[in-house]
Structure 1
Amino acid sequence: MTDLERQLQGYSLATVDINYWRPDHPRLLQTFSWQLYDLAPQFPELKRFLDHWKREIEATIHSVRVAHRDMLGPPRWRNVDEVLSLH
């Protein structure tokens, strides 16, 4: 499925930051950042990835932070009443 097809089905771009500890460096908190198209607020793709992480990767997850924004939708605009110029 292309990115456009995903957007038309309601997917939006999500940015995920996963903080984790590796077994060989248990005192060092590391970060994995990733972007994907997913369905908010259920995030099935992210859940599938986290399930894979728990099964296959030895690193322990400390926290997961997700940010998302719909990519397609009605135009957003504001009426500007005044323009200010400095210098």
Structure 2
Amino acid sequence: MEMSETEMMLKGYGLTTAEFFYHMPDHIHVLNSYIWQEYDLAPDHPKLFEFIEFWQRELDGPLHSVRFTHRKLVAVGEWRNVVGEFRIH
């Protein structure tokens, strides 16, 4: 069962964006780039490393480098449970 985006944010997931630079299979001296985004857990980034392993195992273009950034969508103190609401005319 997959978690909703809200559940993921509350469990500490954040949005990881990675830019992969790789050599073109037919033109080894030409670099190309690919952008990847996924909700992931810092600092271990298991989904990012899973994707890198998939790339190395399944795709022809050898990786040159990867750069990434991670942003938690909900930080400590930004989420609060509201149990009531007051209405003013």
TM-score range, shorter chain: 0.7 to 0.9
Larger strand fraction of residues: 1
- Aligned twin of 2:86: none
Over aligned residues, Cα RMSD in angstroms? 1.1
What is the percentage of aligned positions where both structures have the same residue? 41
Q: TM-score, normalised by structure 1?
A: 0.80
Report the Cα distance in structure 1 between the residues aligned to 2:11 and 2:27, rounded to whole angstroms: 41
Q: What stretches of structure 1 of length at least 5 have no aligned partner? A: 76-87
Unpaired runs of at least 5, structure 2 = 79-89
**CA displacement 1:63-85 (0-9 Å, x = unmatched):** 0101011100224xxxxxxxxxx
Q: CA deviation at 1:27?
A: 1.4
Poorly superposed stretches of 4+, deviation over 2 Å: none
TM-score when normalising by structure 2: 0.78
How many residues end up aligned between the 2 structures? 75
